[in-house]
């Protein structure tokens, strides 16, 4: 979440066995092969790929995304492609490009006026610049910081967005970003923090929860989280507090979405997300 880099994506992201052009963090509960959300079907034990379903000649309940309903209850066509994830990537890239133009430097873009107006600093928050809690998540210290975060967002975000639905995915992303900012305010108040890492860590936590909910072994997600926590500790200039704050809030938000009861589901989900945002804001207020 801070200079010089955010969470690193896996060295070789798994790709869907049937769609080699689609990186995915999901896999078939039966054969273990990587599979995208279009190739997974709900089975008696976890989610299985279409090949295993056909091979076993099972009568699979037509649920989840095949009915046009995501795991979290959002209405969505089964073949709908992620939109929020590429939009978020584009916004981050555009903001970075603008800071480069303003500063006249690719590596020293943090000297730009926009960067100085948006970066997360406790003194500015105390002075009333509350927008920095969110806008800092769209700033990056140099091209490597941007590339690492956007690669992780692209690989993880598309799977999580497809499972949760666009609106719920965006809610998890933003509340994770807020949770990361709150953790920074509480535990690293003197740092000038920027980057999408808190939100990306939130998606990592969300992916682990989604896999657990789908009864798919979440070992890959846990491994990814562990590697990136180690990187956050080992490399200098990285906000461990921001990463862990985003991770915890993102996992909690996703759990609230995918485990919400069918009755009054939307109300429960909205209340849970709002509650997490309020807790984060209260923590920030207490830190000032």
**What pTM was computed for the model?**
0.76
CATH for 84-287 (3.40.630.10, 3.90.230.10, 3.90.180.10, 1.20.1540.10): 1.20.1540.10
CA dihedral 204, 205, 207, 212 (to 10 degrees): 150
| pLDDT over threshold 90, residue 198 | yes
User: Residue 132: helix, strand or coil by DSSP?
Assistant: helix
177 and 137 Cβ atoms separated by less than 8 Å: yes
- 140-169 pLDDT per residue, tens: 999 999 999 999 999 999 999 999 999 999
Burial-class residue 233 by CB neighbours within 10 Å (0-12, 13-18, 19+).
Answer: exposed
- 275-287 pLDDT per residue, tens: 999 999 999 998 8
Give the mean pLDDT of 94-109.
95
201 closest CA partner among 277, 137, 285, 283 = 137
Round to whole Å and give the CA distance between 160 and 172: 10
C-alpha separations of 161 from 37, 151, 168, 183, 197 in Å: 10, 15, 8, 25, 17
Residues of the chain with CATH 1.20.1540.10: 84-287
Residue 197 among the catalytic residues: yes
Round to whole Å and give the CA distance between 163 and 23: 15
Please give the pLDDT value at position 10: 46
Round to whole Å and give the CA distance between 272 and 259: 11
Round to whole Å and give the CA distance between 172 and 182: 15
CA 100-103-108 angle, 5° bins: 75
Catalytic pick from 27, 197, 232, 239? 197
Round to whole Å and give the CA distance between 2 and 144: 12
Across the chain, which distance is largest between two alpha carbons, in Å? Answer: 64
Round to whole Å and give the CA distance between 7 and 153: 10
Please give the pLDDT value at position 66: 44
Please give the pLDDT value at position 48: 81
Please give the pLDDT value at position 161: 94
| pLDDT over threshold 70, residue 238 | yes
Specify the pairing of strand 40-42 against strand 47-49: antiparallel
Helices (H), strands (E): how many in the chain?
A: 11, 2
Task: Say how many C-beta atoms besides its own lie within 10 A of residue 86's C-beta.
Answer: 15
Structure tokens, 61: 């309940």
Please give the pLDDT value at position 31: 84
């Amino acid at each position: 979440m801070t200079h010089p880099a955010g969470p690193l994506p896996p060295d070789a992201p798994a790709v869907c066995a049937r769609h080699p052009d689609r990186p995915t963090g999901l896999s078939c509960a039966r054969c273990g092969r990587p599979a995208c959300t279009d190739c997974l079907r709900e089975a008696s034990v976890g989610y299985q790929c279409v090949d295993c379903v056909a091979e076993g000649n099972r009568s699979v309940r037509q649920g989840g995304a095949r009915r046009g309903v995501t795991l979290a209850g959002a209405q969505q066509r089964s073949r709908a492609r992620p939109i929020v994830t590429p939009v978020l990537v584009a916004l981050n890239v555009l903001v970075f490009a603008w800071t480069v133009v303003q500063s006249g430097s690719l590596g020293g873009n943090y000297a730009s006026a926009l960067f100085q107006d948006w970066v997360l600093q406790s003194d500015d928050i105390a002075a009333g610049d509350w927008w920095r809690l969110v806008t800092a998540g769209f700033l990056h210290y140099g091209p490597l910081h941007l590339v690492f975060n956007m690669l992780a967002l692209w690989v993880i975000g598309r799977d999580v967005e497809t499972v949760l639905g666009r609106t719920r995915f965006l809610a998890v992303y933003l509340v994770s970003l807020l949770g990361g900012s709150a953790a920074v305010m509480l535990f690293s108040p003197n740092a000038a923090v920027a980057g999408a890492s808190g939100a990306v860590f939130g998606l990592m936590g969300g992916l682990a929860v989604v896999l657990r909910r789908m009864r798919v072994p979440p070992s890959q997600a846990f491994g990814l989280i562990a590697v990136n926590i180690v990187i956050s500790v080992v490399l200098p200039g990285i906000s461990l507090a921001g990463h862990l704050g985003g991770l915890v809030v993102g996992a909690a938000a996703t759990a609230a979405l995918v485990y919400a009861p069918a009755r009054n589901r939307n109300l429960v989900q909205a209340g849970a997300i709002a509650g997490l945002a309020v807790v984060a804001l209260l923590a920030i207020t207490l830190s000032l």
